[in-house]
Amino acid sequence: MQQSFDHIADAGARNWVVRLAPIGARPFLQLARYDRPIGFWLLLIPCYAGMALARLDQGWQWSDLGYAGLFLLGALAMRGAGCTYNDILDRDLDAKVSRTANRPLASGAVTPKQAVLFLVAQLSIGFLIWLLLPVIAKQIALAAIPLVALYPLMKRITWWPQAWLGLTFNWGVLVGYASLQGALDVTAGIYYAGFAFWTL
């Protein structure tokens, strides 16, 4: 295994992973993009927005804090899993592009086998969180799997992979809404569409 670079080209040179993380953990944190937290926020905010929409009429309840915590942990785990999965599929392409050539898989700092094991660990955390959601929210979350699975392939067939990303990242609007409301309706669908366009 090759030694990790100090930082990834498209991440800040003084991010917390470079400054504070143990050297052995650094390539895995970089693989999951913990050195670039914006993606975590882009996954979490739609979940919270869906919860907020569901509570417009009746106001917040203390039990909502539990779901807020689940979505926080879920966003951390699943954003990292998505990035790991993306880099597993793109490792050969990433190695040929200067902006991505020193990403952990492309550079050899993490092997494909290590990346797959890391992906399984992150997905296991996501699965445990999924088990704690209401049935309707579980079903809606499962429906996002094709979106997530196909996203890394979109850049191979379209100039607009961000459109697919918008559909994928904002699925949390529907999950957050259904977790508190117990169902989906037209309002939630319009809200989701608005968030998807916002991502663009």
Q: How many domains does the chain have?
A: 1
Residue 127 sits in which domain range?
16-199
Residues 16-72 have pLDDT tens digits of: 777 777 888 999 999 999 988 889 999 999 999 999 999 998 899 999 999 999 999
10 located within any domain:
no
157 located within any domain:
yes
Residues 76-89 have pLDDT tens digits of: 999 999 999 999 99
Dihedral angle sign, alpha carbons of residues 6, 7, 13, 19: negative
Counted residue by residue, the chain has a size of: 200
Q: What is the CATH number of the domain that holds 43?
A: 1.10.357.140
34 located within any domain:
yes
What band does 94 get if pLDDT is binned at 50, 70 and 90? Answer: confident
The alpha carbon torsion through 73, 78, 83, 87 (nearest 10 deg) reads 130
